[in-house]
Amino acid sequence: MTPWDIADRPRRRVGRGLELHDEIPSTNDRARELLAEPDGEGRAVVAEVQTAGRGRRGRTWTSPGGVNLAVSVGLQPRLSTGDAWQLAAAAALAAWDACNRFAPVTLKWPNDVVADFDGAKVGGILIETTLDGERVAEAVIGIGLNLNWARRDMPAELAGATSLAELAGGPVDRGEVLDGLLDALDDEIVALEAGHTPRDRYRAACSTLGREVELETGEGRIHGRAVDIDERGELVLETSDGTVHVASGEIARLRTAVPA
Amino acid sequence: MADQDPVLRAIDLLTPAFEESGLDELEVEADDLKVRLARPRAAVAEAPALAPTVAAPEAAQPAPVAPDRLTPFGEPSPGMRFVSAPLTGVWYAAPSPGARAYVAEGDEIHDGQVVGLIEAMKLFNEIKADASGKVHRILVESGTLVKRKQPILEIDPR
């Protein structure tokens, strides 16, 4: 028996079997390896501890064993390069849906799951794709969620983070969260491959919209009011210099817009 | 068709004069059409080259104008060809900070080889070369924004 057994059910595209590890360098790397193996596509790789877990641009993703959820799935999606961003929106919506069954959360652009009431981070998503011209050849979706990690036990560098248990007021069943996550992600990928964009639902779940944000783009900071997600997944900001569409960036500061 | 779109036609007409003018911004208004050309500031995520922005009444602009249709990237040097960005995002020449770059000028690369990453919405996309040859020039600095169809490498094909 493992905490994850409840999630081991047949599905269409995502979560077609579980592969469990006590410790592994990276669930994303393993999910990518599985794409080269028979029936490896869609298998969910879950690890208690990652020794080389990745965050954005070389940041490490650390988590103690036994309290959180780190899962990756590799796919060869039927998706064009221009629609690759929809994978990020679909994965974010699946994580949002799975967490919302336990406590109110929203999405911070592009794909952080955050507490509804104070914006503290519950989890994040890292997707790695291989593009082959105009189509997405391979995609690995990695999702990390803080579940039963007490805030007081988190390291100092995670100030501003929280966990689903903190928001729910008590421990959550990690297997149930994984089960809900894989179901939701399976539904999202099936819909995506059938040509249904997650854009409208993503906009509805994204609490960044309507707020004043400071965005770190790597080429400097932009300040403006987030007003939309465009048809390419870019965040649309109204700035003092006009409308700006941002494909990549990290929100450095976010506050509720002052009513005009 | 692009040449029938009044907004695009106006931009085509104004861009050469704007490029030579040294102005940071040029705004022209005629009837219900308003076109503003502006050079991007470092802090604004627009194309690294001249980036026109368009403001026109909703009725006159039924669909958003894709910036990549407005940004000319020129032609490769004689005998060379470009490897271009398949999507808009931040270009990374190496798999992680401090790691060795996927390719360097002078390297021989082959069709299908990974030459870099483009990140958009925390989605890291491996970019593959679509031809074999020798890397003649790397046209984009790592960490900067690239637009869809913008050339990243110039290669001497074999």
In DSSP notation, B71-104 reads -----PPTT-EEEE-SS-EEEESSSSTTSPPS--
Question: Which of the two residues, B47 and A84, has the higher pLDDT score?
Answer: A84
B16, pLDDT greater than 70? no
- Cβ separation of A249 and B126 shorter than 8 Å? no
Compare CB distances from A57 to B46, B96, B130 and report the shortest one's residue: B96
Determine, for residues A247 and B53 on separate chains, whether the beta-carbon distance falls below 8 Å: no
Q: What is the pLDDT of residue B59?
A: 35
Of A81, A127, A234, the CB nearest to B122: A127
CATH: 3.30.465.10, 3.30.930.10, 3.20.20.220, 3.40.50.1100. Which one for A18-205?
A: 3.30.930.10
Q: How confident is the model at residue B65 (pLDDT cuts 50, 70, 90)?
A: very low
Query: What percentage of chain B has pLDDT greater than the value 70?
Result: 54
From B43's Cα to the closest Cα of chain A, the distance in A is 4
- Say what the pLDDT of residue B7 is: 59
- With contacts defined as CB-CB under 8 Å, which chain A residues touch B89? 247-248
Local confidence band at B20 (pLDDT 50, 70, 90 cut-offs): low
Check A130 against B90: CB less than 8 A apart.
no
- Is residue B65 within 8 Å of B7, Cβ to Cβ? yes
Q: Is A164 in contact with A174 (CB distance < 8 Å)?
A: no
Long-range contacts of B112-116 (CB under 8 A, 24+ apart): B114/A130, B115/B83, B115/B152, B115/B153, B116/B91, B116/B92, B116/B142, B116/B152
Q: Do B97 and A239 touch (CB under 8 A)?
A: no
Distance from CA of A130 to the nearest CA of B (A): 5
Residues of chain B neighbouring A111 (CB-CB closer than 8 A):
121-122
Cβ atoms within 10 Å of B23's Cβ, excluding its own = 12
- Evaluated on CA atoms B8, B14, B15, B16, the torsion sign reads positive
Torsions phi, psi for A213 (to 5 deg):
-130, 155
Taking CB atoms and an 8 Å cutoff, what residues of chain B touch A128? 123-126
Distance CA B116, CA B96 (A): 10
CA angle A8-A11-A16, nearest 5°? 60
What number of C-beta contacts closer than 8 Å exist between A and B? Answer: 124
Cβ contact A81–B86 (<8 Å): yes
- What was the pLDDT predicted at B73? 73
Q: B64 pLDDT band (50/70/90 cuts)?
A: very low
CATH topology of domain A211-256: SH3 type barrels. (2.30.30)
Tell me which residue in A58, A131, A134 faces B125 most closely, judged by beta carbons: A131
Nearest residue in A to B67, CA atom: A245
Residues of chain B positioned with their CB less than 8 A from the CB of A247: 45, 88-90, 120-121, 145
pLDDT at residue B42 in the model: 31
Q: CB A241 to CB B41 under 8 A?
A: yes
Q: Which chain A residues are closer than 8 Å to B120 by Cβ?
A: 84-85, 88, 233-234, 247-248
Cβ-contact A254, A222 below 8 angstroms:
no
Chain A residue numbers touching B86 (CB-CB < 8 A): 81, 131, 133-134
In A, which residues are within 8 Å of B126 by CB distance?
128-131
Domain limits, CATH 3.30.930.10, in chain A = 18-205
Length of chain A: 260
> Which of B35, B54, B58, B121 to substitute to test the interface with A, most A CBs within 10 Å?
B121
- The length of chain B, given as a count of residues: 158
Domain with CATH 2.30.30.100 in chain A: 211-256
The sign one gets for the Cα dihedral A60, A61, A64, A70 is: negative
Q: What does the pLDDT read at residue B96?
A: 83
**Mean pLDDT, rounded, for B110-136:** 93
Distances (CA, A) of A5 to A34, A47, A85, B59: 20, 14, 31, 56
- For residue A245, list chain B residues with Cβ-Cβ distance below 8 A: 45, 67
Residue of chain B minimizing CA distance to A136: B125
CB contact under 8 A, A242 and B55: yes
- How does pLDDT run along chain A (260 residues), one tens digit per residue? 899 999 999 999 999 999 999 999 999 999 999 999 999 999 999 999 998 876 655 566 678 899 999 999 999 999 999 999 999 999 999 999 999 999 999 999 999 999 998 999 999 999 999 998 889 999 999 999 999 999 999 988 888 899 999 999 999 999 999 999 999 999 999 999 999 999 999 999 999 999 999 988 767 789 999 999 999 899 999 999 999 999 888 887 777 654 44
DSSP-H helix ranges across A35-121? 85-100
Task: Look at residue B5 in the predicted model and tell me its pLDDT.
Answer: 59
Contacts of B53 in chain A (CB under 8 A): 242-243
